[in-house]
Each structure stands twice: as C-alpha cells, then as structure tokens.
Amino acid sequence: MNIIKQLQPIKQGARAAKDSCKGDFFTRLLEHLPIKVLNLSSSWGSTHSVYLYGICDMGLWLHTGVSSNFIMIVRWKLTVKSRKWYGPRPIDLDILFYGSQTVNTDTLTIPHERIWERPFVMGPLIDLLGFDADNDTMKSWHQLSRHSGGLFEAWEKLGGESLIGKDGMKRVLPVANQLWNCSTKTSIMGILNVTPDSFSDGGKFLSVESAVSQVRSMLTEGADIIDLGAQSTQPMASKLSPEQELDRLIPVLEAVKNMPEMEGKLISVDTFYSQVALEAVNKGAHLVNDVSAGQLDSDMHNVVAALKIPYIAMHMRGDPSTMQNHENLAYDNVCVDVASELYMHVKDAELSGIPAWRIIIDPGIGFSKNTEQNLDILMGLPAIQSEIARRSVAVSHAPILIGPSRKRFLGEICGQPTADQRDPATIAAITAGVMGGANIVRVHNVRDNRDAVKLCDAMLQRRRRNSV
C-alpha cells in the first residue's frame, strides 16, 4: 500500500476540497494515470491551519522513485502560477508509507519522519487503517511506529480522540462551499414533508406557499438543514414513481432554494430514487437522505458518487411496506446487527465511489424495529460505533443522524396516539441520542429541540474539558 497525505487549503472552504479548478486538475490527473485509490480517511480541519488533511491508500502503483517524481510534478502543476515552490500552495502531498519498505535518500524518506508528532496526520491515518492488522504490510507499519501498541498507541500518546475540539482539531465534511463541523456542534435537520400521507404532517405543506412559510419558521427557530421529502415512508403508504415524486418536490425545492433565509443553510432531499436524487441536486439540494442506503435503487450509489455530495445512509430491512414484517424485526442483537448491516451498505457505497468522509449514518429508528429495539438503538449508539469500528474506524467516525421525532414507539410508551402530542417525548429521545453520540437530529419541532440540543452540547463540552 502506498499511503499519501493530501492537504488542501480551506481558505475557500469546501470549494478547495470539492470543485475548484485546481482540485479538478488533480482528480483528472488521477483518472488518467495508473493509480487506483483503494480507501480514503475522514477529512480533518484545524483552526490553526489553512489546510484540510486527509490520507488515501493508493496501492503499490509505481516504484518509489516514480511516486516521488509524480508528487513533485503535481506540486509544480498546482503552484505554477506563483512559481514559489516553498511558498503557500493549494495542495501538498507526502508519501507516508510505501508497502513495507523503508527509504532513506537525499530526496525521500519513508516512512515520513514526522508522522508520529503530527496529530493532523495521525488522526486521518488511524481513521483509514481501522483495526485490521492481519496483513503483513500493515503489521510492518505498526512496527515502524516504535510503539508496542503500534500506530494506535502512537495516536493515543498524542491524545487520541481527546484532541477533537482542542486546538481546532475536528473532523469536517465539505459541503456547499463550507466545512460542516460535526465534531463539537449538533446540527438540527428540520423536516418538511410535501406529502398527503406522512404520519405527522401529511397534507399540511402541499402548496409552495405553505411549504415556504414552514421552512421560514424552521430556519428562524434554528434549523441548520431542511430535509425535503415528497414520498411518505410510513408503513403501507402509497408508493410513488420517481416522476410523481419529482412533480411534488421540484416546485418546493426551487422556491426554498431561492429564499434569502437559506443563506448558509443546507437542503437535503429525502428519497430512495436515484433519478430524484440527481434532479434534486441539479436543482440545488446539497445532500441525499436515503432511507434504504441504496437497497431500493441499484443506481443510487453510483449517482451520488458522481454528484460528489454527502450521502445519508439509513438502516432499514425490506421496504416501507414490509419493514415491520415479523422476519424484518428478528435480530440476535439489534445494535450489533444494525451496525453490521449498515456497514455493508456503506461499504457498497464506498466501492461505488462515495468516500467515507462524505457519508452520514442513520441507524433507522422506527424502521424495521419494534418499540424495545428502538430503545436499544437510542441507548446503544456507542455500541453501534464500536461495532462498526471493528471493520472501519473511518466509517465509525461518520456523523450519526437520528430521527425519533414523533415516532409511534414514543406514543406507545407515553400513551400519546396523536403524533403532534409526542414532542415532549421526542425531546427526551433527542437528548438521550445526542448525549450518546448523535451529531444530527431530524425533527418536526425545531424550536423546542433546539434548546435541548444546546443544553446537550454545553454538557458535552463541559465533559470534554473535565476529562483533560
């Protein structure tokens, strides 16, 4: 494996990471050279640096001399305007490891001699590696760290996960020309269903005018993201075609996109159709929220990969009409099984070209779960992360979205048969989820849940400070 550190400046926010002409040059260069990117780490940022940091595993594609020369060419191409070789540049590349080899020449040292002292390198590296030390190459990297516990011990000695939130260290998600920080601030996703049959607000926002008014209210109350859905996913709801869904969605999406209040806010589209996702993103949506994690449309992952936007992958068995069938509620251990199944869907997404740092995971509260299982999920977010971490540290650190808002299980527990009477129970569920590790909460009542989230964030910040 050839592990290369990529650094990209964040002065232009996500544009540098996503769609600047220089970034496009590097992407095109990779596409036309004998290089295969096998894996990518999370994307990291720091308030003390103008760079984004990430690690990619590129396979043993060239011998070290050619690899080094390739990097020199890329650096030169991307700094040709300024001609300042040692000055600021839009991208920096370093070879951290090259298989199990060590190299020490006048122009190249492998492993990179300063890996062990740089948290902004070690963090993404650990995200990339995961805990799989079965192959000889990875074992050699752990040995080269000069720590008995390998790279993981080296990371822990630097501070490990406790560094998140300190000195500006954070995992970030480039989206819509901004860097979305999910590490220290919980984001609020406001729900807007333009459907006649959704369980809570069906029929309320079918007109463009009523939809825009509701979005304005949610933004005023503190929503960071507006989640637009034009197809109900409650059990036994009528299934629309992609064309029918688009007919409902696009007029509202276009109106919402043009609202002045949307400046700096994000729009997600709640759909399991790739055709709807493609059209919605072309019309201004920033994220795709897929309740099936790609299982209901085989083209979804490829389409999202080509769109280069964040992807929310939710756990569900079957489809909305079958998800509550007996066989879809059978789990040996709901947290372990959900983690395993969700990871496999995310792995499929990665293989289709969606990097781990663009993926948000949702354990699917209320989908293919009964009341007791929903409670286990809500209390078991750390267990789900730990189970995923056995397979991929990067995926285990993906932002977690939870959506318990007004769900039936809350009504069953609290004796509230009417959906809009479940807001107090929703607040309790959201509080439990955020304290357990949720980064994004999807809610109908933005105002009241905003206050709960603010309190949770304050308590979590206090916990981090007290742990120093």
Going by C-beta distance under 8 Å and a sequence separation of 6 or more, which residues neighbour residue 282? none
Going by C-beta distance under 8 Å and a sequence separation of 6 or more, which residues neighbour residue 195? 202, 203, 206, 229, 230, 231, 232, 248
Active site residue 407: yes
- For residue 359, the SS3 value is strand
Q: Please give the full DSSP string across 221-239, using - where no structure is assigned.
A: HT-SEEEEE-S--STTPPP
Going by C-beta distance under 8 Å and a sequence separation of 6 or more, which residues neighbour residue 284? 253, 254, 257, 267
Active site residue 442: yes
Q: How far apart are CA 339 and CA 344, in angstroms?
A: 9
- Hey, what amino acid is at 346? V
Residue tagged active-site, from 170, 265, 407, 450: 407
- Can you read off the two tokens belonging to residue 223? 């929503």
CA distances from 43 to 120, 128, 173, 201, 312 (A): 10, 10, 7, 36, 17
Q: Please state the φ and ψ torsions of residue 238, each to the nearest 5 degrees.
A: -65, 135
Q: How far apart are CA 322 and CA 236, in angstroms?
A: 8
Residue tagged active-site, from 15, 391, 442, 450: 442
Q: How far apart are CA 314 and CA 342, in angstroms?
A: 7
Strand 440-443's sheet: what is its strand order?
359-362, 311-314, 287-290, 266-270, 225-229, 187-193, 440-443, 401-402
Bridge partner residues of 94 (DSSP): 5
Count of positions (residues) in the chain? 468
The CB density around residue 340, as the number of other CB atoms within 10 Å, is: 16
Please identify every residue annotated as catalytic: 407, 442
